[in-house]
Structure 1
Amino acid sequence: MKKIIIYLLVIIASKSYAQELNLPVWTQYLADNDFVISPTYAGIGDNVRIRVNGLTQWVGIKDAPDNQSLYADFRFANRSGAGITLYNDKNGYTRQRGFKVSYAHHLILDYTSRQFLSLGLSYNLNSFKIDINEFEPDYENPVLDPYVTDDRAINNHNFDIGALYRNGGFYFSFNLNNILDKDIDNFTGIEPNGIRNYQIYTGYIMQSKTNKRVEFEPSVFYQLFGSDNRSSTDINFKYRKYNRKEDYYWLGVSYRFLNDQVLKPLNIGPMAGIMKSKFYFAYSYQVTMNDLVGYNSGTHMITIGFDFLQGLSNCSCTDGRVLF
């Protein structure tokens, strides 16, 4: 059993090396936190927003991926926003830690039809290392390789850019992550220096015809990794209901697949969240549908957040809610 699990993890790692220095995006953005995906969302809304995410993947498998992150964004002046992201990601013996600092500017294209354009920029600092302190000799390798030293750590500086178009309840964002190439070991011959990935996030918020406090939101999230042209798509749906105090709860579901295997989902799962007196809580569960399904109980994610320091803007381009 142990050898099977190790084999599967090695296969996955060997097929995903191009994701190095790219923090994986799961369903954090669906927890009413679009800033996870793009800096263009910084400052949209009337509050300082803080969201803390904890994610444990493939529960039941030793050394499976584990992630913690914090996202905070706020508006300053009438048309600008800023944000910061802190994250810690563990995958087997690899560790990623880092932060992002983001800036966004929001423009009105047409006031009457509520068409807005947002442009965003992020600076990223990522620290990646292999934790050799976790290496242990075994029967097949009784002596550790003496050339593996210093945790094989590397720091990477990079930038993300994005654009967001909104028209009433419709939104479409495009993001280019990790614009710069990274430094690599020229003697390995297998590691890509291009770590760019492209992301599209689009959807539509619809108001119920029978209840003005009910919203439906179908959305699609697409990722393409430029190094080897791998790509995946999320198809999502959310139901959201407000009360008179603007508190709300929501229910949703997400379906993720590789784009060359549409009918073979990577994972699928339900989600739910609630906002009460500016305190936010959400939970997401994903059932793994690949070869690891028999060895784990799925992926769990919790989001806790708080909105505070409310300040209304004079510019409709930073409105947080769709006005029908």
Structure 2
Amino acid sequence: MRNITTLFSFLLILNISAQETLPIYADYLSDNVYLLHPAAAGIGDCGKIRFTARQQWIGVKDAPSLQTVSFHAKVHENSNAGYGFILFNDRNGYHSQKGLQGSYTYHLDMGNENLFNQLSFGLSMAMVQNEVDQRTFGGGDVSQVIESDFYFNADFGMAYHFKGFSSYLTIKNILLSAKNNVNSNYESLNLRNYIFGAGYFFGEEDKFQFEPSLMLQYKAETGEKIGDLNFKVYKKFRTTQLWAALSYRRSLDSSVFGDANYITPIIGLNYKKLMFAYTYTQQSGDVVFSNGGFHQVSFGMDILCRKRRASACPNINGSF
């Protein structure tokens, strides 16, 4: 009976999560904060193009996979406004979703060229195609159909930066509610996800620089609380920068799955205006769905760069 309850709860959570816009992994640690927080659009001294490809549970058929392409920049050099967009393709077995997300951000500059002190507000709107391939239900029976529909979503966020300190608060899925199907009598599910993140960057550029950070999530429908504890270290060699990160994620409350824990090491390389990173995640805890890890590669390019700002975290001064 306990196994049946666990399986039912797992399927329910998958159904809820599948209808959220973008899954939340450790992408933000690969100089890709904009994937998570709309207030990061155009926040730095360069426009940023980022590509990511993620594959979970290597060797498991129809395992979850995710690909994203994102870009964000300021409207122009002297503007306080920023913009960005994200294209993504998220597939999980018989379910998949493809989406386009656009963002607008306003940055209130309270510092000067020698001091970074900025408050930011961001809003993202997304259009998503949700698809379920029912042909897999009957072992490939072509008489089954592919169901497809569209939905819209929005995220709102704020950010505050002061010198090496950075912080973000984002409310995701503020327009989105999920239903089992359009003809269902079930009540809508509240998919809002409240996310808070903060970090501090310090150290000497000719030696080592460090960036501890944390992220907290609260999911309104399930009451689930999730915490990330992260640490990054940077080492610069002329036009090249090597960096490494270690992230630990765990549930902060008990659930049907017990304690879920994720260890994620990341290695990265910045060369001039190019960025490459490899991410590996290993799951542990009371219930582990596969022995295979999660693999992700990220590639990026900085464009439309302007004069660097002094005393700021790498998310601001991301290029050499």
Same fold (TM over 0.5): yes
Matched-pair contact (CA < 8 Å) for 1:18–1:228: no
Unaligned runs of 5+ in 2: none
Instruction: For residue 285 of structure 1, report the CA deviation from its aligned partner.
Output: 0.5
Matched-pair contact (CA < 8 Å) for 2:117–2:163: yes
Deviations 1:142-182 (A, max 9, x none): x89x8xx6533221112111000111111111001121143
Alignment of 1:1-324 (within 5 A): 12-22=10-20, 23-77=22-76, 78=78, 79-111=80-112, 114-137=116-139, 150-182=145-177, 184=179, 185=181, 188-190=184-186, 192-208=188-204, 212-245=206-239, 247-261=240-254, 264-290=259-285, 293=288, 295-312=290-307, 320-321=316-317
Matched-pair contact (CA < 8 Å) for 1:99–1:126: yes
Amino acid at match of 2:136: E
Q: Give TM-score, length-normalised by structure 2.
A: 0.85
Q: Give TM-score, length-normalised by structure 1.
A: 0.84
Residue aligned with 2:16, SS = helix
Instruction: For residue 238 of structure 1, report the CA deviation from its aligned partner.
Output: 0.4
Counterpart in the other structure of 1:3: none
Q: Percent identity?
A: 31
Matched-pair contact (CA < 8 Å) for 1:21–1:126: no
Matched-pair contact (CA < 8 Å) for 1:61–1:296: no
Q: How many residues align?
A: 308
Instruction: State the superposition RMSD in angstroms.
Output: 3.2
Instruction: For residue 191 of structure 1, report the CA deviation from its aligned partner.
Output: 6.3
Distance 1:14 1:104, change over 3 A: same
Q: State the distance in 1 between where 2:286 and 2:273 align.
A: 41
Distance 1:118 1:316, change over 3 A: farther
Amino acid at match of 1:238: K
Unaligned runs of 5+ in 1: 1-5
Matched-pair contact (CA < 8 Å) for 2:56–2:292: no
Instruction: For residue 264 of structure 1, report the CA deviation from its aligned partner.
Output: 3.8
Distance 1:293 1:195, change over 3 A: closer
Amino acid at match of 1:310: C
Detail structure 1 runs of 4+ shifted over 6 Å in the superposition.
Answer: 6-10, 313-319
Deviations 1:98-126 (A, max 9, x none): 01001111112354863210110111111
